Amino acid sequence: MGADRLELVRMLYSGAIEAVRVAREELAAGRIGERSKAIGKAYRILAELTTSLDRTRGGDLAVRLLELYDYMMRRLTEANFQQKDQPLEEVLGLLSTLSEGWSGVAQQTGTQNTRSEAWESAVSEPQSYSIAGYASQGYGSQAWSF
């Protein structure tokens, strides 16, 4: 509840990474419904990250993140429809890289770091509900089944 926006984004990345890992496990085990739910969770988290971007203050960085989130969402959809692991592996790698970068930014927020400020300004305050709770919620009945 008391997390700042950088921490909330880091939590969302963590939730998306875990969802993609679960999706890969479910795909390997042949559990179609569970795979779809996990992919749906990762997709919804990326959609929330997309809506949290502040394109005015975030400038070019926000635009590039928007394009990357859109690309990952398309790859998740592709993975679900084609029942292939490669797109999931790719999204997992991208999310992991972003998460590492975001964690580094969070560590630098106490200093006057222009890069840190640019990353932080790319993300607006959470929208209509608890973004942290969303990242940690179970798959539930709202999961997308493609």
Q: Could you give all domains of the chain from N- to C-terminal order, each with its CATH number?
A: 5-121 (1.20.120.340)
Note the pLDDT tens digit of each residue in 127-142: 433 333 434 444 333 3
123: which strand partners?
53
Letter string b/e over residues 31-41, b meaning 16 or more CB atoms within 10 A of that residue's CB? eeebbbbbbbb
Mean pLDDT by 10 residues, the chain (146 residues): 75 96 98 98 97 89 94 98 97 95 70 48 46 38 30
pLDDT on residue 5: 77
- Identify the pLDDT of residue 1: 53
133-141: Cβ within 8 A, 24+ apart: 134/12, 134/15, 134/44, 134/45, 134/48, 135/8, 135/11, 135/12, 135/14, 135/15, 135/16, 135/45, 136/11, 136/15, 139/34, 139/37, 139/38, 139/40, 139/41
